[in-house]
Structure 1
Amino acid sequence: MAFNFHQLHIFYTVAERGSFSAAAQALHMTQPAVTMQVQSLEDHFGTKLFHRTTKKIELSEAGHALMPFASQGIHLMRETDAVMSRFTDTLAGRLVLGASNTIGEYVLPRLLGPLGQRYPHMKVMLKVMNTTQILDEISRNQLDFGLIEAPVEHPDMTIKPVMQDELKLIVPGNHPLATQEIVQLSDMLTYPFVLREKGSGTRQVMEEELIRHHVDLSQIQTVMELGSTGAVKSAVEAGLGITILSPSSVKHEVALGLLKVLTIEGVSFQRQFYSIHLKSTLLTIPAVTFLQFVQEYEWV
């Protein structure tokens, strides 16, 4: 009897997770069902794929030989889904994703309307949370995937760039710098700053670029550190300082003349947004389609 991709996927997940119980949880299957499918695969090849002990399982020599082919098969299936999803207009299903602050509150809302028009039967549930929470919920299979603002290293996760963003200098509409379109870095540093908290993706990108331009971070007159983009915007609008944020997060305030977006000459706060999901889990066609839509959407 021929083996099938489902069995290959189960084998790969067991190997990646290191146990039948963990694989069963990731695949939403019972442990006996996972064990049975692996045994069927072993019967097909006529050899053991795992060495089982009371404490752990390890790949056999045959299992090590099969792993690259299983990995290639899963990658090919994902690519197939990505290509064919472009031809599917009647996608249905529920998609649960997590997004970090800037992406979830200011970037994705612009996309959800056009996405809903294109795929009216796709139901998207968006959770806005920090990167640590996103990783935790993906690990527990509570999210299909996540969108985050800075790369992370995790042995069980696949991380891919999906879109770019550029941070800019944000000042109150009546600020002395607001009469200029392009400001000098040295001039910017003479004013007090309201910043996101240390460890946030926005703060990390800002500091790395300033260090690249030989700025001593102690030169920055930080008068306030806040835990959300919304709070930073309100503080800047109130005249408490200037900041570095994504222009996508201040479109409304700029349109009302409350804030202004400026460019710092010779300085570019470019950053990449990333998708993240479990290596052992195949993305659904709605998930693949969503990510494809994100990458192809005209953000200008």
Structure 2
Amino acid sequence: MFDHKLITFLTVAKVGSYTKAAEELYISQPAVSQQLKNLEEELNVKLFTYKKRKLHLTQSGKQLLLFVESLRSQSNKFKEHLHAIPKNKRPLHLAATQSLTNSMLPDLISFVNERHSEIILHCDVMNTKECLDQLHSGKLDFALVEGNFDTEQFTVRPLIDEPFIAVASPKLGLDPNREYKLTELLNFPLIYRESGSGSYAIMQQILGTQNLKVSDFDQRTQISNPETIKQVLEMGTGISFMYRGIVARQIHEGSLMEVKLHAINITHPIYLVYLNNNYFEKEYLQLLDEWLPTYHE
């Protein structure tokens, strides 16, 4: 289903060399050059250029790469879709960030299993960067993500707005009724998510409002799992920043508390994300429109 010139273009863009692309495709280097020349003539644009003896994509080449990668992933998805038709089943590959595994992802899985027996779900949990990388490579249909990220090659649909708060154990002795400046919290150990996660990006945004950064905390520990972070916080070990929904039960039970911040009130969207110009967009949005009202109930 994929034009051989586009396959050659993708391969050269990936390996950065005509010779290496020829080896990977099991064709001659002149054949690679001719196919790219034909593609450039067909599109009437220059796709590659040399800078300091290294091959680089032009701006037109970069745009074509985004389009072709989207086309390739949708082509694979469509073939999977065709094979599923006789069985009255359709696979759906999705992922969510770890911050959404407490409520949103389980709720969506439950909804699909109860209302859409024709869908075979494949679910993964990873950070925002990993979700976007998997979308880009065509391994996911869509993802539920949070944080700040480049939206150029994705269609992004806000789902809900979620408060992003500072959290600690009452054991630390912080006053739940007082508003603290961020600088007053620097002496407490910071427990935080890994770079690449949406929570890390939003935390950086909060710190940046006061010209602060992670390294300004005297003691800090990076943990990639939100559940482990909650357990560490409950022991009175330090403070963290996360979505309120992740710790709603612990706050209600009193094992954790919100640390109110002076002049800082961050509410951040949770997004549905999929590749631009997606053939299955209508299918995704229909499922979203069915599920969201039940999630808010």
Fold similarity call, TM over 0.5:
yes
Q: CA deviation at 1:237?
A: 1.1
In 2, distance between residues paired with 1:110 and 1:22?
41
- Which residue number in structure 1 is paired with residue 135 of structure 2? 138
- Which residue number in structure 1 is paired with residue 149 of structure 2? 152
Task: Structure 2: give runs of 5+ residues left out of the alignment.
Answer: 11-32, 45-87
In 2, distance between residues paired with 1:130 and 1:22?
30
In 2, distance between residues paired with 1:18 and 1:247?
50
Pairs within 5 Å for 1:126-275: 126-153=123-150, 156-177=153-174, 179-185=175-181, 186-215=183-212, 217-275=214-272
In 1, distance between residues paired with 2:156 and 2:245?
23
One-letter amino acid of the structure 2 residue matched with residue 213 of structure 1:
Q
> Are 2:31 and 1:54 aligned?
no
On the 8 A contact 1:167/1:270 being kept in 2, the answer is yes
1:27-59 deviation digits (Å, cap 9, x = unpaired): xxxxxxxxxxxxxxxxxxxxxxxxx95225245
In 2, distance between residues paired with 1:198 and 1:60?
39
On the 8 A contact 2:188/2:219 being kept in 1, the answer is no
In 1, distance between residues paired with 2:100 and 2:173?
30
One-letter amino acid of the structure 2 residue matched with residue 252 of structure 1:
R
On the 8 A contact 1:171/1:241 being kept in 2, the answer is yes
On the 8 A contact 1:157/1:279 being kept in 2, the answer is yes
One-letter amino acid of the structure 1 residue matched with residue 90 of structure 2:
G
- Which residue number in structure 1 is paired with residue 275 of structure 2? 278
On the 8 A contact 2:145/2:273 being kept in 1, the answer is yes
The structure-2 alpha-carbon separation of the partners of 1:294 and 1:265, relative to structure 1 and needing over 3 Å to count, comes to: farther
Q: CA deviation at 1:121?
A: 4.5
Q: CA deviation at 1:212?
A: 1.4
Q: CA deviation at 1:216?
A: 5.8
Q: CA deviation at 1:263?
A: 2.9
Q: CA deviation at 1:236?
A: 0.9
On the 8 A contact 1:92/1:286 being kept in 2, the answer is no
How many residues in Structure 1 have an aligned counterpart in Structure 2? 232
The structure-2 alpha-carbon separation of the partners of 1:239 and 1:279, relative to structure 1 and needing over 3 Å to count, comes to: same
Structure number with the bigger relative contact order (C-alpha 8 A, sep ≥ 6) is: 1
TM-score normalised to the size of structure 2? 0.63
Q: 1:250 aligns to what SS in structure 2?
A: helix
In 2, distance between residues paired with 1:143 and 1:57?
29
The structure-2 alpha-carbon separation of the partners of 1:152 and 1:244, relative to structure 1 and needing over 3 Å to count, comes to: closer
Task: Structure 1: give runs of 5+ residues left out of the alignment.
Answer: 1-9, 24-51, 62-90
TM-score normalised to the size of structure 1? 0.62
In 2, distance between residues paired with 1:94 and 1:146?
15
Q: CA deviation at 1:99?
A: 1.5
Percent identical among aligned pairs is: 19
